Amino acid sequence: MFDGIINPFYFIGTQWQMFIEWFLVQPLLAQIIIVAGVFTLIAGTIILVYYIVKGLIYVLSHLFKALYRMLKALAKGIYNLFKKFYNLITEDTIKPKEQKIVYYNINKEIKVKTPRSNNYSLLVDASKVKFCSKCGRKFSKTVKDFLNSRGSAYCDKCGKKYISQTRTIEMES
Ligand SMILES: [Zn+2]
């Protein structure tokens, strides 16, 4: 008995020997019932183990799926957080550019679309301006000559007045 505790294989061996000795002295019917009982026990154990393993796999797979979703959401959250930080850091360098574009567009709109400005004469660089900002007509040679010689001219098509910037500066100085 003391040896059995120390060596479990020896303990199982003696138990098995005791069982065989006991089994052999039993009557035939009892032997058949015992064998059937052992097989039922083995089959029952196999079925039980099968369902336990199946259940374990089911639970584990759902656990891993949940874990995967959780990690994915976490990764996405961290990514968005870093993106926000990145935008926050780079915002200062990006914003002035955007503002420049906006201002430019506003200026363009005021010059081209505001009706009031069209009624006033527009200061232009005579050497660079080629088209009327109101109607879009290309300036004829006469208009350009007038701009250069007199310092002012009217559009052939719409009559908008243009004043040469260079002439104005020259006259002022
Ligand atoms: Zn015009």
Distance in Å, CA 100 to ligand 1 centroid: 28
Distance in Å, CA 148 to ligand 1 centroid: 18
pLDDT tens, per residue, the chain with 173 residues: 555 456 778 888 888 899 899 989 989 999 999 999 999 999 999 999 999 999 999 999 999 999 999 999 999 999 999 999 888 888 766 555 555 544 444 444 444 444 444 456 778 887 788 889 889 899 898 888 888 888 889 998 898 888 887 765 555 54
d(CA 141, CA 80): 60
Are 134 and 157 in contact by the 8 Å Cβ rule? The answer is no
Distance in Å, CA 123 to ligand 1 centroid: 14
Distance in Å, CA 164 to ligand 1 centroid: 15
Using one digit for the tens of pLDDT, what is the confidence trace for 55-85? Answer: 999 999 999 999 999 999 999 999 999 999 8
- Angstrom CA distances, 17 to 2, 5, 22, 23, 96, stand at 17, 17, 9, 10, 93
d(CA 163, CA 123): 5
Distance in Å, CA 162 to ligand 1 centroid: 10
